[in-house]
Amino acid sequence: MNINWKPELLVPAGSFESLQTAVLYGADAVYLGGTQYGLRAKARNFDAEELAKGTAYAHEHGVKVYVTVNIIAHNEQLEGLDAYLRYLQQIGVDALIISDAGILEIAKETIPEMELHLSTQASATNYRTMNFWHQQGVKRIVCAREMSLEEIRETREKIDPELDLEAFVHGAMCMSISGRCVLSNYMAGRDANQGACVHPCRWKYALMEESRPGEYMPVFEDENGTYIFNSKDLCMIEYIPELVQAGVMSFKIEGRMKTPLYVAMVTKAYREAIDDWYYDPDRYHEKIPYYQELLRMVSHRDYSTGFYLGKPDASSQIYDQDQSQQNAFFVGKVLSNNGAQALVEQRNKFSVGETIFLLSKEGPLKAVQVQSIQDEQGQPQESAPHARQKILLPLPEEAEAGTILLK
């Protein structure tokens, strides 16, 4: 394949703050959900006013906005959908992410000029299926997580050249065919296809023999417990050339329920990696350990390549712990900076004398020793102990508004 394009970096935005963070740290596009019709019911999401505000903010910075309308709809959920779709068009949303054929049909009838993307929830795994959806008006398909690089490459060769392919490159994986698990519905009455999954795959399980009630036998045990359904997280930072060669035009980050620190760090890592690969492939290969170190700092389970390099076995995909790992903690966000003193919103406690780090848009973390802390009235403090407290810190000018501080 002759590569003359740079892949899009598509970043999750579960809140307006996360959207701002994604934009600051280099997203080309963001995807987000309204308060209905999307598959992340527990994310903060965007009401009508916030959808308009978020879309305007993204567009002011040259970033596209894709809105999820990807539930598997029941009859009653079709009521009012047309008005909602017209509103999304009115505020300038760039595309809708859809998985339900009925919703797709309503969108085509209601807002025929809107670009439509097929969600990974639709489980498109072959070129015939993708060509079918393209004939229905879909401009882009999010590849099913269960596809390998080789399958994507073959599919790219056999689908219409006008059909774009998007694929997840980082984040949590589903232990089932994406979105088709019924554990949540059965065990908690919360439907994954309505965006309410409680992730029972992360729970601890044991076996009990029928004639021995109350005697629990672990399926597999280590010192932490048994987590037989627990998928590792996906990380493809070292396979950017292979993804592009396979024909993936949009790199999608999972995580609409993640923190702004997660959004900032992962966006930064993939932004630098994509740009380095595009402009200087040798530099990209040299910096892979650096990208990986950034990604190890944020909350994650052990990383894997998912299905991309072939069907995973238990050792490469199933994780034997329920706890995630994290090496960096969100301590503050810069609200403004005059070059000598910054107004910072605190997120976790830190004290005078401690070393914190600036997560700049480009380059490695920058260590800054906390020389002083003042409250908004200029009164000195030894620490910033209160969540969301606004404080004054001496920070370098490069710590622009929105910059994440961590330790």
pLDDT band at 31 (very low <50, low <70, confident <90, very high): very high
Report percent pLDDT > 70 for the chain. Answer: 85
Sign of CA dihedral 345, 349, 352, 358: negative
Q: Quick check: 401 and 337 in contact, CB under 8 A?
A: yes
- Which contiguous run of DSSP H or E holds residue 306? none
Beta bridge pairs of residue 171: 234
Indicate where the chain has its CATH 2.40.30.10 domain(s). Answer: 330-406
- CATH number given to 330-406: 2.40.30.10
Three-state DSSP class for residue 321: coil
Amino acid making up residue 145 = R
Entry pTM: 0.88
Indicate where the chain has its CATH 3.20.20.70 domain(s). Answer: 8-176+231-317
Question: d(Cα 312, Cα 317) in Å, to the nearest integer?
Answer: 6
Three-state DSSP class for residue 152: helix
Task: Write down the pLDDT at residue 221.
Answer: 47
- Which contiguous run of DSSP H or E holds residue 386? none
Q: What is 8-176+231-317's CATH superfamily? A: Aldolase class I (3.20.20.70)
Q: Following DSSP, what letter does each residue of 13-70 receive, concatenated?
A: -SSHHHHHHHHHTT-SEEEEEBSSSSS-TTS--B-HHHHHHHHHHHHHTT-EEEEEE-
pLDDT band at 226 (very low <50, low <70, confident <90, very high): very low
More confident residue, 226 or 336: 336
More confident residue, 76 or 138: 138
Three-state DSSP class for residue 105: helix
Using alpha carbons, list the distances in angstroms from residue 331 to 17, 365, 389: 15, 14, 11
Q: Which residues of 75-97 are buried (b: 16+ CB within 10 A; e: fewer)?
A: eebeeebeebbeebeebebbbbb
Q: Quick check: 97 and 125 in contact, CB under 8 A?
A: no
Residue 324, token pair as written in the block: 């995630």
Summary mean pLDDT of the chain: 88
Question: d(Cα 22, Cα 281) in Å, to the nearest integer?
Answer: 24
